[in-house]
Amino acid sequence: TVGTGELVYRQYRILRYVRGQPVRSPSPPPPSTPRCRSCACRCPPVPRWSCRRPDHCWPEQLTAFVTQFGITHALIPPAALATVPDGDLPTLRTLLVGGDATSADLVRRWATGQPMINAYGPTESTEVTSCTEALEPGGKPPVSRPIPGTSVRVLDDALQPVPVGVTGELYVSGIGLARGYLDRPGLTAQRFVADPFGRPGARMYRTGDLVRIRDDGQLAFMGRADQQVKLRGFRIELGEIEAVLAMHDAVAQVAVVLRENRLVAYYVPVGRVDAAELREHAGQQLPEYMVPTAYVVLERLPLNTSGKLDRAALPAPEREASTAGGFVAPRTEAERLVADVWADVLGLDEVGAEDNFFTLGGDSISSIRVVSRLRASYDVSPRDLFDHPTVTALAARLSGSTADVTPIT
C-alpha cells in the first residue's frame, strides 16, 4: 500500500462464499485482492462494486457511493468506517470489517443496525483466515477462530506454543496459504517457515500480528510486531499506547508513532479534550516512558488507497512551548548551555528558552544524562530538573537565583 509492495502468488483450488445476499464491496481493491473475492457471490451473478479512488474512503464519498449503488453487503476497513456518521449506510444488510484492528467503539456504533462480522486474514493466506459470528457491543472484538481448512497457532520466538493469556505471534497454515512472494526468495524464506506441527514439508506463515488466547479459546489482537519501537532502551508496543488513549471518552480515533526520538499521539476528538488531559490520562495507566510527549489534533486520520491508516502521511507536530508566544531563543550563557545540552541529549535541532524538558520528550533516564553533562559547570541534581523543567527556570537555578536573568548584550 505504501512504498514497494510484494506480489504474492497462489494456486486457486477453493472458492469461498458469503451466506445470504450477493456481495457488493465498497472497499478499494489493492493489487493484493485475490480473484476469489470477486467470485464471492451467489448465483445468478450480480454487480460487484469497488471503490478505486482514494477519496472514496472519505466519509461523504463513501456514504454517497454505498447509497447510490444500493450496496447491501460491504467489506470496509475499520479506519474508513470510523469516519462515517452513525446511520449513514442505510442500505447495508451485512457489514464486514477487516484489514485492520476493529475497536470496541466501532462495534458499539455499528453492530446494532445490521449483522457486523470481523474478518481477519493476511493476503498471504488468501485474505480470510477467520471470521467471527455477528458481533455484539461490549469489549474489544476477537480475531475469532479459523475457518475450515485453515490452522492458526500462537507461538513464541522459539516457535513454541504460548499459554492462555500470554501474547505471542500468530502463525497461519492450511490450504489457502500462498506459495510465496514473486521473485523474492529471501523474503519468502523469512516469512514462510517450516511447520513443525504439520506433515513433512508443510509450511506456515508468520503474520507479524501479536495475539493472545482468551479464556474462551478465541484470539485477541494485541498489536503488530513491526509496531514495536525502542526508545531510550525501552521496547514499546505502540498499539498498547493507542488502546489506552482510545479509552478516553472524547477520543474517536488515535495513532501513535515514534518521531524524532519522541512519542507523538495523533487523535480525532469527539468532545473537548486537550493535550494536557490526554497526557494525564495516559500517565495514569502507562509507565512514564510510554506516555506520548506530543499530541496533534486532526479532523481525520489520513488513509491510504486501501482505506487503512497511512502513518507516513501523519504531519510533523508543531513546536510546543510553555508559553503562547512560541519559540523564544536562549538569551544568556546559562540558557544557551542548558538549551544546547537538552538538544544534544534529546536529539533535537534547537531548544528554546521557554521549552519544557518533558514536553520535548525528556524523561527520568534522559534527565540523568542532562545532569551529568551540566555538572561539569554547575552543582545540579536530577531533582533540580524536575522542579525547574524549562530552560529559563533551570538556567536561573544554576545561576544561583530564581529571579529573572539579565540577557547578555
- Coil, helix or strand at residue 209: strand
**Which is more confident, 301 or 45?**
301
pLDDT at 49: 62
CA separation for the pair 121, 77 (Å, rounded): 13
β-strand partners of 97:
76, 118
Query: What confidence tens digit (pLDDT) does each residue in 36-92 have?
Result: 333 333 334 455 566 555 455 566 778 888 888 888 888 888 878 887 888 788 898
Query: What confidence tens digit (pLDDT) does each residue in 112-145 have?
Result: 878 999 988 888 887 688 888 888 887 778 887 7
Q: Copy the grid coordinates of residue 215.
A: 479464556
Confidence of residue 28 (pLDDT cuts 50, 70, 90): very low
Residue entry with cell 515514534: 258
> What is the arithmetic mean of pLDDT over 80-106?
84
**Neighbouring residues of 143: CB distance < 8 A, sequence distance ≥ 6:** 118, 120, 130, 170, 209, 211, 218, 219, 220, 221
pLDDT at 256: 93
pLDDT at 403: 37
Indicate whether 260 pLDDT > 80.
no
Query: What confidence tens digit (pLDDT) does each residue in 148-197 have?
Result: 888 999 999 899 999 999 989 999 998 888 888 888 888 888 889 999 99
Contact (Cβ atoms closer than 8 angstroms) between residue 391 and residue 339: yes
**Is the backbone of residue 395 left (phi > 0), alpha (psi -120 to 50) or beta?**
alpha
Indicate whether 13 pLDDT > 60.
no
| CB neighbourhood size of 124 (10 A) | 24
Q: Highest mean pLDDT: which of 7-16, 59-68, 207-216, 365-374? A: 207-216
CA separation for the pair 269, 199 (Å, rounded): 51
Q: Is the peptide bond before 44 cis (omega within 30 degrees of 0)?
A: yes
CA separation for the pair 156, 162 (Å, rounded): 6
> What is the arithmetic mean of pLDDT over 327-338?
88
> What is the arithmetic mean of pLDDT over 2-6?
48
CA separation for the pair 51, 57 (Å, rounded): 8
pLDDT at 35: 32
CA separation for the pair 211, 195 (Å, rounded): 19
> What is the arithmetic mean of pLDDT over 87-108?
85
Name the DSSP class of 40.
Answer: -
pLDDT at 36: 31
CA separation for the pair 315, 295 (Å, rounded): 11
pLDDT at 353: 87
Burial class (CB in 10 A: 0-12, 13-18, 19+), 22: middle
Domains and CATH numbers, the chain: 1-142 (3.40.50), 148-226 (2.30.38.10), 232-318 (3.30.300.30), 333-398 (1.10.1200.10)
pLDDT at 40: 39
**Neighbouring residues of 142: CB distance < 8 A, sequence distance ≥ 6:** 118, 132, 214, 218, 219, 220, 221
* Model confidence pTM above 0.75: no
pLDDT at 45: 47
**Which is more confident, 225 or 323?**
225
